[in-house]
Amino acid sequence: MSDPAGTGTLDSPGLRALVARGDHASLLDARDLALTMSVSAVRGELDYDLLDEHAESASRFFRLWLDHLAWGGSGFEQMAVADWVGAEHGLSMVHVDRAYGIGAAVTVDALARVTAQLADTLTAFRFFTDGPDAEVDAAVADRLDRLAGTLAAVHAEIAEEAARLPAELTEPPVVRSE
């Protein structure tokens, strides 16, 4: 059993050790462990030195984690992770093959998702103006609906750009046994 900080115990390694191992099973375990942690806790465990020394396995881990967040998490959480991961591909993990492309791909993918979610959130705001105790004027919801339309158009353009990226940058990595 490992602790949320990722330092591990005698019977289960922590996040750092799992990412450093780099084999398929360890990276899947790292992804599962990261899903139980806050983004800031994961960032605290995977510091610059670890990302630099184990850049290839860290890059694969990040893409596995982001892929899971894309279908099971919040767009806002995915964006927070992608912002960090994209930057690290240009900093501590710059020596990974296609690092800048991977950083761009995870960022654009998350941007597409978060703009769609934000547009939906703005549209759903009307709920707060329809109730019997509503204290917010419907005109606020009308203005937010217009902004939602603008964001939907931005989302469509970003999604088109994401679709133009090479598939090998956007697909979750295949991890070979080492």
44 occurs within a structural domain: yes
178 occurs within a structural domain: no
Q: Are 65 and 81 in contact (CB under 8 A)?
A: yes
Distances from the Cα of 149 to the Cα of 16, 121, 134, 137, angstroms: 43, 12, 24, 19
> How far apart (Å, rounded) are the C-alpha atoms in residues 46 and 35?
14
First to last CA, the chain: 24
The angle that helices 138-164 and 99-124 make with each other, rounded to 10 degrees, is 160
> How far apart (Å, rounded) are the C-alpha atoms in residues 56 and 96?
6
42 occurs within a structural domain: yes
pLDDT for 175 = 54
Q: Please tell me the total count of domains within the chain.
A: 1
Domain limits for position 139 = 15-170
Confidence of residue 153 (pLDDT cuts 50, 70, 90): very high
**What's the mean per-residue pLDDT of the chain?**
89
> How far apart (Å, rounded) are the C-alpha atoms in residues 5 and 41?
6
How many CB atoms are closer than 10 A to CB 157? 11
The HSE-up count of residue 53 (CA atoms within 13 Å, CB side) is 10
> How far apart (Å, rounded) are the C-alpha atoms in residues 99 and 93?
7
8 occurs within a structural domain: no
| 45-69 tens-digit pLDDT | 999 999 999 999 999 999 999 998 9
pLDDT at 177 over 80: no
6 occurs within a structural domain: no
pLDDT at 142 over 90: yes
Provide the whole-model pTM.
0.84
Contacts of 71 (CB under 8 A, 6+ apart): none
86 occurs within a structural domain: yes
31 occurs within a structural domain: yes
175 occurs within a structural domain: no
